[in-house]
Structure 1
Amino acid sequence: MNVLPKCLALIAPVVAACLPLVARADDDAGIRGIVDAAIRPVIQQYDVPGMAVAVIVDGRPHFYSYGVASRQDQTPVSENTLFELGSVSKTFTATLALYAQETGALSLGDHPGRYMPALAGFPVDRASLLELGTYSAGGLPLQFPDAVSDDAQMIDYFRQWQPDAEPGVLRRYSNPSIGLLGHVTAIALKSNFADAVESRLFPALGLNRSYVRVPQGAMARYAWGYDKTNKAIRVNPGMFDAEAYGIKSSAADMARFVQANIDPAGLEGPMRRAVEGSHTGYFRIGGMVQGLGWEQYPYPVSLQRLQAGNSPEVSMKPNPAVKLTPPRTPSGATLFNKTGATNGFGAYVAFVPEERIGIVMLANRNFPIPARIDAAHAILSRLAPGTKPR
């Protein structure tokens, strides 16, 4: 039995603890030492073919690439390699909806039947667009049934759906829920979702190499994902795939997105306000606050609390939702994060605007979320150690 990966996993925290705290954005060697100590053991333990990591320190990005984007071609990973973001895509869906609100195309207090008359009067129409975007519509499931594969079947599904609770009292993480928000947003913008994201959202955020639909000219940069059997795979289409888990991006572009969230001042008015709006919290779910797209924690945050908020208990089960009245705009240092995965890819993004730090982890294997949180927490806590975690 090869015990090296397990040994490395045990040794890594000790190694990281001995590294100096990084206070300067120009100390690339020091930052690399911290990132290597946290990331290399994870890559070995979970046989991750490749990973692109971006670390933002004092608002400046640093890029670290590991392994290959394709085992067959041995193409090395770089900060420009395209990875599937999985559910990190939901942060873009939320930002687009907020942008639509800022431009007057919709209000998040509206109900879906206003834009989709076929849903008017049905139970799903009791939920507001905000409640759909925060998974609090009343218990929509994680996924659509396999039989739902076109718009007519989607509408029929929502017309037949019966809630488990009134809107705003139960949080159940759901692709159909935030997917419906994205679908309605595109209707309000008189577009389809992919066009709205690629022609409006990405350019306004300065993201030049992110896609819903990867063009032929960018396919050479699109990594292959690897499943549990090491088969090379990419995401399959599905109902609301673009809205819920379908964006492909690079560490370079995701670092720009994190920078825009850390300091939105450089964005045009409606997009700046949309990004700022994505930092508002609406429901308390245990030790986590649910916003539109991003999930929030007071910073510094303990590893235990961060793991709990990203655990299967939160992502796979219904949880009571305590409505924040009024909605909460962070008053102190706050960590925002989102995990994402497809069958062949795993992602994690986190940032703390007040500390001007952030991290992007993109891998072409869906390795365990706890390992992602461990590594990211170890890195961030050495970039801005702060005080006692809350």
Structure 2
Amino acid sequence: MHPRQSFVLAFVAALLTTTAACGRSDDAESMPSAEFTQAMDRILQERVPGVQVVVTADGKHTFHTAGVGNVATGGLISEDAYLRIASNTKTFVATVILQLVEEGEVGLDVPVERYLPGVIAGNGYDGNRITVRNLLQHTGGLPNYIDPEKIAKSIGNRYRQPFDAEQVVRETLRANVPLGEPGTQTAYSNTGYLLAGLVVERVSGQSIGTEISKRIIEPLGLTSTYYPEPGESTLRAPHMYGYDIVDGKLTDVTELDDYGVGGADGALVSTGADLNRFFIALLAGRLLPPHRLAEMKSTVPSDLPLPGLRGIGLGLFRYETSCGSEFWGHGGGAPGFGTIGGVTADGRAVTLIANYMPPSEQAMTAMGVARDAALCAK
């Protein structure tokens, strides 16, 4: 059989695969509801090869998988597979900033200029008018450095060079005027989180990856989470395979150039189980004292069309499920990968993983339905 035929057949098999529950033997999680199963199938119908939902409750993980994790072999998404968690990285970065605030090293309402003199300047920008809080809450009027057209062109590019966050920020500000007055509107900005990462590095004298590891990954024992080394664009094994459409064909885009990997805005690699552990620990107060966690959960209106999103805090989103319960989390999307999830008040955590960044509003809606069904299940 021609390799291309094998590829097509494997992809078709992904679309026809029914939802399978892959819970560990010591889990008491009930079987998926019809609503959950239908939502998982709907995600696959939107060209997504595979999806996995990780439910964590009472310290136990349950895995529900549909479709395939590798379209070439037909293999499932494994429970321990690394993936790019993209913008979930922002919650880690915001947590580090708030720890530094608690230590007296950073002020939330202090101008960024104090920490990064001259970086936010020119073309209508003034670092004296944008605070650290503005960076974390997407209210700095900063444009997004990520250009979908450039990302599309970068997919499949094997050229490597270290990601220079400060250079990217400066180039972005030179090329784009401010989106508005700082503090007057919400505009999601990856550029703001590159700046937040630079603030951490200037204050601590360490890389943002080192600070995240020292302050979060190591204390929580997140053994399947890491911040890539400079220029490290290949996922470590075992890893998920991520897919996108390139030249009209479904293509493996697991290996990205550094433009696609990013920095403090989205570079972290993890697993669904580790991501649940992190959000559970954060919301339980294991990383921040109560008053800092309360600041993190103080929200402004959202400008993002995410299912159930009700407000944006400091690197943390407030959602409401279809069954009316509140939960907190983030989410992330990068070429080849998409994640949504969060933690309810009773400590139930869900992370939904797709090996294709949601390609349509219908796919995103179906992901939200599956997530809610998992969060609302008892």
Normalised to the residue count of structure 2, the TM-score between the two structures is: 0.74
1:117 paired residue number: 117
Can you list the C-alpha shifts for 1:64-118, whole angstroms capped at 9, x where unaligned?
3444433335543222111111222221121121122223331222222112222
* Secondary structure of the structure 2 residue equivalent to 1:113: helix
Does residue 221 of structure 1 match 2:241?
no
Match of 1:231 among 251, 255, 275: 251
- Specify which structure has the higher proportion of helix: 1
How do residues 1-390 of structure 1 correspond to structure 2 at under 5 angstroms? 27-28=28-29, 30-33=30-33, 37-38=37-38, 40-58=40-58, 60-119=60-119, 123-125=125-127, 126-141=129-144, 143=146, 150=164, 151-152=166-167, 154-155=169-170, 157-158=172-173, 162-213=177-228, 219-228=236-245, 229-234=249-254, 235-238=256-259, 241-264=262-285, 267=286, 271=288, 276-277=293-294, 279-285=296-302, 288-297=310-319, 299=320, 301-302=321-322, 334-352=326-344, 354-367=345-358, 368-383=363-378
Structure 1 position 274, deviation (Å): 9.1
Structure 1 residues 117 and 40, CA gap change in structure 2 (3 angstroms):
closer
State the one-letter code of the partner of 1:261.
Answer: L
Letter in 2 for 1:95: T
2:154 counterpart residue number: none
Deviation of the 1:258 alpha carbon: 2.8
Kindly indicate whether the alpha-carbon contact (under 8 Å) linking 2:316 and 2:330 is maintained by their aligned counterparts in 1.
yes
Greater mean deviation of Cα atoms: 171-180 or 212-221: 212-221
Compared with structure 1, are the counterparts of its residues 153 and 334 closer, same or farther at alpha carbon in structure 2 (3 Å cutoff)?
Answer: closer
Letter in 2 for 1:363: A
Q: State the distance in 2 between where 1:44 and 1:358 align.
A: 23
Deviation at 1:136, TM superposition (A): 0.5
Tell me which amino acid in the other structure corresponds to 2:250: N
What secondary structure is seen at the aligned counterpart in 1 of 2:331? strand
Does the aligned pair in 2 maintain the 1:139–1:171 contact within 8 Å? no
Listed as ranges, the gaps of 5+ residues in structure 2 are: 1-11, 20-25, 152-162, 304-308
Paired amino acid for 1:78 = S
> In 1, are the aligned partners of 2:337 and 2:357 still within 8 Å (CA)?
yes
Report the Cα offset of residue 31 of structure 1: 4.1
Shift in CA distance, 239/74, structure 1 to aligned 2, threshold 3 Å: closer
Could you list the runs of 5+ residues in structure 1 that have no partner in the other structure? Answer: 13-24, 306-332, 384-390
Shift of 1:262: 4.1
SS of alignment partner, residue 172 of structure 1: coil
TM superposition shift of 1:133: 1.2
- How far, CA to CA, are the matches of 2:216 and 2:327 in structure 1? 23
How many residues of Structure 1 are paired with residues of Structure 2 in the alignment?
328
Alignment check: 8 A CA contact 1:204 1:271 kept? no
| Partner secondary structure for residue 245 of structure 1 | coil
Are residues 163 and 281 of structure 1, via their aligned partners in 2, closer, same or farther at CA, if it must alter by over 3 Å?
Answer: same
- Residue type at the aligned position of 1:289: G
What is the TM-score when the length of structure 1 is the normalising length? 0.72
Give the whole-Å Cα distance in 2 for the aligned partners of 1:250 and 1:168: 34
User: In the alignment, which residue of structure 2 is the partner of 1:388?
Assistant: none
* CA displacement at 1:226 relative to structure 2: 0.6
Q: Root-mean-square deviation (CA), in Å? A: 3.7
The 1:285/1:68 distance shift into structure 2, 3 A limit, reads closer
| Residue 35 to residue 279, structure 1, CA distance change in 2 (3 Å) | farther
1:203-223 Cα deviation digits (max 9, x unpaired): 123211112217899722121
CA distance in 2, matches of 1:249, 1:35: 28
Whether the 8 Å CA contact 2:299–2:312 is kept in 1: the answer is yes
Deviation at 1:361, TM superposition (A): 0.7
Find the aligned partners of 1:302 and 1:135 in 2 and give their Cα distance.
26
What amino acid is aligned across from residue 288 of structure 1 in structure 2? R
Q: Percent identity?
A: 23
Question: Cα deviation per residue 1:252-300 (whole Å; 9 max; x = unaligned)?
Answer: 2112113213423xx3xx6455983574214234872210122114x5x
Aligned 8 A contact 1:281 1:292 in 2: yes
Q: Distance in 2 between matches of 1:87 and 1:187?
A: 22
